[in-house]
Amino acid sequence: MSSTSLTTGRTWRPHLPRRHVPVLATLVLLLVTYGIGVSQYRAFSNIQVVFNVFIDNGFLLVVAVGMTFVILTGGIDLSVGSVVAMTAMVSAALLQDGLPPALVLVIALLIGPALGFLMGCAIHVFDIQPFIVTLAGMFFARGICTFISDASIPITDGFWTTMSQARIGNPAGNFVSISVLVAFAVVLVAAYVLAYTRFGRNVYAIGGNAQSALLMGLPVGRTRIAVYTVSGLCSAVGGILLSFYTLSGAPLIAVGMELDVIAAVVIGGAVLTGGSGYVFGTVLGVLVLGVIQTLITFDGSLNSWWTKIVIGGLLFAFILLQRLIGIRFT
Amino acid sequence: MTGSHPVLTMTGITKTFPGVRALHNVDFRLFPGEVHALMGENGAGKSTLIKVLTGVYDTDEGIITLAGEQVFLTGPMQAAAAGVSTVYQEVNLCTNLSVAENIFIGREPRRLGLIRWGEMRRRARDLLARLGLDIDVTAQLGTYSLAVQQMVAIARAIDVRARVLILDEPTSSLDAGEVAQLFRIMRQLRDERVAILFVTHFLDQVYGIADRITVLRNGSLVGEYRTAELPQLTLVEKMIGKELDVLERLDEQQKRNIAAPSDSTPLVEAAELGRKGGVTPFSLRIHAGEVVGLAGLLGSGRTEVARLLFGADRADHGQVRVDGGKASLRTPIQAIDRGIGFSPENRRAEGIVPELSVRENMILAMQAARGWLRPIPRRRQDELVEKYVKALRIRPANPDLPVRHLSGGNQQKVLLARWLITEPRLLILDEPTRGIDIGAKAEIQKLVVELSDGGMAVLFISAELEEVLRLSHRVAVMRDRTMVAQLDNDTTLDADRVMQTIASGTHREEVNRSTPSPSASAR
């Protein structure tokens, strides 16, 4: 017996860590999809197509980042679509009442995290499944939307229209919106938090094995509550960005968006049971969805439901991939 | 060790759960620089004592002192901060994180709130080097074997500068080489004056490394002994709590030594069947009409043998032959198809469906064997259920009563009936008489005799040697997850001999031989 036999007790491991395989698969998928677009349609190669994908999906990206935190702990947040709509709705209503935009922003950005915090507490304190708690949150937030108004409220505020129309571009005429910059900032901060803070590492630990995390003395409850709060905050930011994009608050906007978000996160390589995934993967997942959508728009002959069909197929393929590479080492 | 003060004392610890007194006035002490084994059968109170010590449970009564000062432990983290670290049987780490992170998570080196990964990896490498482990600390923990994970858990435990290290059955999933590696580290830590509390089911390991032994039984302290002064046989007696001569009081008339038809083709034959982390490969033949008893301490691998034969666990070694032909028993369904029935040890968790009626519970296995698309006609159900309620004297004799309303003994009979209805050729009974009253116990024993007289083969697992000896034609003895002997139940076999086999293990000669030979331990 020697220590050498122990060091070789290690199971086979390729040069490529297995946990990176899903993210790389998504990257390849993205490149292939983009390549198809470029080869089929001349206009696709214009870099503005890529920028437009970001512009159209900036809010989705922000919400997906929040969802990544939740899914990394092994949870789920079904309330995000409704919270996005509620945030946009509240902003529109308050602006219509003549409140100053700065105050509206603060209020709108507090509601989402507050709801997320409450849901997190319910999940932790009463030990209820996240699915059902956030489902309740989803209905609640959607109800608030129609409670505020059952019709769409237009936004005419100067600050909002400025944010909506601002184009940050180069002399060649390519541009992105403010939303894209905000989304990038959120992505960077989130990636940093997950990689370099105790909170971020606890998120991974809980997703890996919550029982172990507890026995290792990690603040499991606090972290759980925090991820739903983070998701609520991201949804709120997403709601603001959506209201920049549409310049209105509509009670039935973003219905079913939570499912797109979950799909993006999973296609981005995160495992629904938690503990494995990256913000970078989520970015790729959102881009894949966006590029597919663009492709189908470019084609023109295809019904937009094809997007859903393709996403459905991809989602299934990725879950299968995760199962095959056995990302859960249990 | 002598002359020094204990680093840890527990005095008069009592812990009661609703309806159960888990610990009763238990004293325990631990000296710096010793390995102290905590011994006892399942349910003796070992786990409760450890949970008290790690702050998972609070006590009803009793005082704990650490280094002479009374402490109140409120949780694992606080206990660790006080110097009591625990490594559990199940590796309680996160396999999705890197090795380095698993050691340091919760106390990562940081600068300005940000984790210093480089520093963390360097310290992890240093710490593991101290334990003689040279592995890639950036790799995910899950890519390493359980043994390495166990070492990482120990590294995590000692990094908090533990004065007391609790190892709760750390060896149960390790092979011999890995155990040796673990022992090397334990000795090294002992030499560094760490006090180690070691819990294991393996007697050899206790005699291989422990300086002293504390024995618990039924929540009470039996005593504290120096390992060198406590022969293995005496230890087993103290754990089981019966003097051997009491065990010898056997009903000789009921003793069965009908020569089993050993020359014929065995009904079921296991050839070098085994599973890593379960049981070491064993060979066992069971003939039709034969009762084979499986004896051994709790945790010695008895249930694992049964689960392998039933396909509930998948064997990774050897094969099974049924009627002389190779059989694939990879799932319980395949085993049931081959005529094997298994009544599990934990009838509440694994057997009985408490909300279903007696009838529904009884026909479950038969229905499963037929497939769900071929329902059993109600009239046939009634016939079968009535027959077995009568034959087994199930009380109350109401087939529509939910099983949870029945007593433990009657629940056990329902479970038996479930398998008898399928008319198995080999019936595996794991602790069929545990926790039921004397009358029901006698009825079940009688039934086993009748079944085997009728040609059914029975594998009978029980912790009670009297029972095993009364019913079995042959007794296979388990020890440390190995089948160490198969003894014919002839006139010469008695509880004493079985007990000695359990205690000493006839196969392992390399173990600490300071133990007096069994025959010398005169009573």
pLDDT per residue over A139-157, tens digit each?
999 999 999 999 999 999 9
The two three-digit tokens of residue A98, written as one number: 């003549």
Answer yes or no: is B236 within a domain.
no
The span from the CA of B485 to the CA of B301, in Å, is: 13
Could you report the per-residue pLDDT of B410-468, keeping only the tens digit for each? 788 888 888 888 888 999 998 887 766 666 777 788 888 888 888 889 999 987 787 88
Structure tokens at A313: 């197929």
For residues B87 and B199, what is the distance between their CA atoms, to the nearest angstrom?
Answer: 11
**Is B429 in the same domain as B415?**
no
B156 CB neighbours in chain A (<8 A) are 216
Q: Which member of A1, A9, A275 has the closest CB to residue B180?
A: A1
Band of the pLDDT at B352, cuts 50, 70, 90?
confident
Whether B85 and B165 map to the same domain: the answer is yes
Nearest residue to B518 via CA among B507, A221, B502, B424: B502
Residue A175: pLDDT above 80?
Answer: yes
pLDDT at residue number B143: 84
How far apart are the CA of B135 and the nearest CA of chain A, in angstroms?
6
B270 and B282 assigned to the same domain: yes
End-to-end CA distance of chain A: 26
* Nearest-CB residue to A276 (from B96, B105, B148): B96
ipTM: 0.83
Taking residues A111-137, report their average pLDDT: 96
Q: Report the pLDDT averaged over residues B476-501.
A: 83
Tell me the average pLDDT across A23-32. 89
For A100-128, what is the mean pLDDT? 95
Sequence length of chain B is 523
Is residue B479 a part of any domain in this protein? yes
Nearest to residue A248, comparing CAs of A330, A148, A141? A148
Asked if residues B419 and B346 have their Cβ atoms less than 8 Å apart, the reply is no
Which of A2, A3, A5, A211 is the best substitution to test chain B (most B C-beta atoms within 10 A)? A3
The pLDDT tens digits for B284-309 are 999 888 899 998 877 788 888 998 99
pLDDT at A81: 96
| Per-residue pLDDT reduced to its tens digit, A45-66 | 888 999 999 999 999 999 999 9
- When comparing pLDDT for A257 and B237, which is higher? A257
* Same-domain pairing of B438 and B386: no
Whether the pLDDT of residue B7 is over 80: the answer is yes
Residue B454 C-alpha, separation from nearest chain A C-alpha, in angstroms: 45
- Residues B464, A106: Cα–Cα separation, whole Å: 72
Across the interface, whether the CB atoms of B115 and A217 are under 8 A apart is answered no
Q: Please give the pLDDT value at position B253.
A: 37
Confidence of residue A112 (pLDDT cuts 50, 70, 90): very high
- CATH class of the domain whose range is A17-325: mainly alpha
B145: chain A residues, CB-CB within 8 Å: 6, 9-11
The DSSP code for B64 is E
Considering only the beta carbons, identify the residue of A13, A19, A215 that sits closest to B92: A215
How many A/B residue pairs have CB atoms within 8 Å?
Answer: 113
pLDDT band at B261 (very low <50, low <70, confident <90, very high): low
Name the A residues in 179-218 with CB < 8 Å from any B CB: 195-198, 201-202, 204-205, 207-209, 211-218
Which H or E element spans position B249?
none
What is the Cα–Cα distance from B434 to A1, expressed in whole angstroms? 41
Report the mean per-residue pLDDT for chain A. 89
pLDDT tier for residue A307 given thresholds of 50, 70 and 90: confident
Kindly state whether residue B331 falls inside one of the protein's structural domains.
Answer: yes
Cβ within 8 Å, pair B77-A217: yes
In angstroms and rounded to an integer, the radius of gyration of the C-alpha atoms of chain A is: 21
CB distance A217–B106 less than 8 Å? yes
Residue B235 lies in a domain: no
Regarding whether B158 and B47 lie in a shared domain, the answer is yes
Whether B285 and B387 map to the same domain: the answer is: no
Task: Evaluate the CA torsion angle A132, A134, A136, A139 in order and state its sign.
Answer: negative
pLDDT at residue B496, as a whole number: 79
A212: nearest CB among B77, B94, B132: B94
Using an 8 Å CB-CB cutoff, list chain B residues near A275. Answer: 94, 96
Helix axis angle, B408-421 to B438-453, nearest 10°: 20
Query: 3-state class of B114 per DSSP?
Result: strand
Band the pLDDT of A13: cuts 50, 70, 90.
Answer: very low
Most confident of A53-67, B154-168, B335-349: A53-67
- Compute the mean pLDDT over every residue in chain B, rounded to the nearest whole number: 81
In terms of CA atoms, which chain B residue is nearest residue A218?
Answer: B106
Phi then psi for B486, rounded to 5 degrees?
Answer: -125, 115
**Which residue does chain B place closest to A214, by CA atoms?**
B76
Region A297-312: mean pLDDT is 83
Query: B199: part of which helix (H) or strand (E)?
Result: strand B195-199
Q: Considering the domain boundaries, does residue B198 fall inside one?
A: yes
Report the domain count for chain B: 3
In angstroms, the CA B235 to CA B256 distance is 29
Please check whether residue A253 is in contact with residue A88, taking contact to mean a CB–CB distance below 8 angstroms.
Answer: yes
- Asked if residue B125 lies in contact with residue B103, where contact means CB atoms within 8 angstroms, the answer is no
N- to C-terminal Cα separation, chain B: 32
- B 91-110 near A (Cβ less than 8 A): 91-97, 101, 105-106, 108, 110
Arithmetic mean of pLDDT, B41-62: 83
Residue among B448, B443, B490 at smallest CA distance from B469? B490
Residue B510 sits in a domain whose CATH number is 3.40.50.300
Q: Look at residue B132 and tell me whether its pLDDT is greater than 50.
A: yes
Q: B78, B94, B134, B146: best mutation site toward chain A, by most A Cβ within 10 Å?
A: B94
Tell me: pLDDT of B342 over 90.
no
Residues of A in contact with B85 (CB under 8 A): none
Task: Give yes or no: residues B367 and B442 share one domain.
Answer: no
* Contact assignment for B94 to A6 by CB distance below 8 Å: no
Q: B71 and B180: one domain? A: yes
CA of A6, closest CA in chain B: separation in Å? 7
Greatest mean pLDDT range, A128-142, B427-441, B483-497: A128-142
**Higher pLDDT, residue B441 or A250:** A250
Chain B hits for A5, CB-CB cut-off 8 Å, are: 177
pLDDT at B511 over 50: no
B49 and B176 in a single domain? The answer is: yes
Chain A residue with CA closest to B117: the answer is: A196
> Phi and psi (nearest 5°) for B167?
-115, 105
Of residues B372 and A289, which shows the higher confidence score?
A289
Residues in chain A within 8 Å Cβ distance of B139: 10, 13, 17
Residue A78's closest CA among A233, A298, A235?
A235
Contact list in B for residue A211 (CB cut-off 8 A) is 92
Residue of A101, A115, A178 whose CA lies nearest to A145? A115
When CB atoms are compared, the residue of A10, A201, A329 closest to B101 is A201
Nearest to B66 by CA among B57, B55, B157: B55
pLDDT(A16) > 70: no
Residue A109 near residue A240, CB atoms below 8 Å? yes
Give every CB contact of residue A250 below 8 A, 6+ residues apart in sequence. A85, A88, A89, A152, A153
Residue of B nearest to A276 (CA): B96
Shortest CA gap A192–chain B (Å)? 9
pLDDT for A183-242, tens place per residue? 999 999 999 999 999 999 999 999 999 988 888 888 999 999 999 999 999 999 999 999
Mean predicted confidence (pLDDT) in B140-158? 85
B208 and B121 in one domain? yes
pLDDT in the model for residue B242 = 59
Residues in Cβ contact with A214 at an 8 Å cutoff, skipping those fewer than 6 apart: A220, B76
Distance (Å, rounded) from C-alpha B487 to C-alpha B506? Answer: 12
B237 is a domain residue: no
Residue of chain A minimizing CA distance to B138: A17
Residues 6+ apart with CB under 8 A from B510: none
Whether residue B39 is found in the same domain as residue B169:
yes
Radius of gyration of chain B (CA): 25
In a domain, B22, yes or no: yes
Facing residue for B143 by CB, picked from A1, A10, A198: A10
Question: Looking at residue B19, what is its pLDDT?
Answer: 61
Query: How, if at all, do strands B291-295 and B457-461 pair?
Result: parallel
Identify whether residues B457 and B522 lie together within a single domain.
yes
Domain that holds residue B79: 8-230
